[in-house]
Structure 1
């Protein structure tokens, strides 16, 4: 009985060690403010901009559905910045 209890505990420890914690993203377009310079000029995006685009990727379709945000998110420069960061804007 003790052997099976130890085996179960060992398996649980291994499973928990391999589990990935999923953190919900809070969709906030202001999180992309570090990208404004790259979108409005020809400067390359910063590392912070790229990390924020990757973080906000699950929200991009939501932003595209918002008429106030669509013109910014869907602009050619915004698409170029996102693509440069390795996170192209999805087709929604």
Structure 2
């Protein structure tokens, strides 16, 4: 696959995730589940770059929502990847067992 095609695929996939996640309902009153909040992690999830401090803070903030994201078939294929698991582990947020 050509590099430009792969980059385009990733960009389209991330945009799709953002659109789908904008309608995500809150899990509790303390945390509003909104996967768009994880956008600072997009680079770390789609490549092998280390997550930023902002990414880690957002993962910790959205931790109560991760099972909800994993249950969404449109999000699961992006959230349940080896890179996403590595980012969560690097940030000190164990990947949930749902």
| Paired residue total | 70
Matched with 1:67 is: 73
Matched with 2:48 is: 42
Give per-residue Cα distances to partners, 1:44-65, cap 9 Å, x unaligned: 0000000000000000000000
Give per-residue Cα distances to partners, 1:5-36, cap 9 Å, x unaligned: xxxxxxxxxxxxxxxxxx61000000000000
| TM-score, normalising length: structure 1 | 0.74
Structure 1 stretches of 4+ moved >3 Å = none
SS in 1 for 2:62: helix
| TM-score, normalising length: structure 2 | 0.69
Task: State the Cα RMSD in Å.
Answer: 0.9
Gaps of 5+ in 2: 1-28
Give per-residue Cα distances to partners, 1:37-89, cap 9 Å, x unaligned: 00111110000000000000000000000000001111000000000000021
Matched with 1:27 is: 33
Gaps of 5+ in 1: 1-22
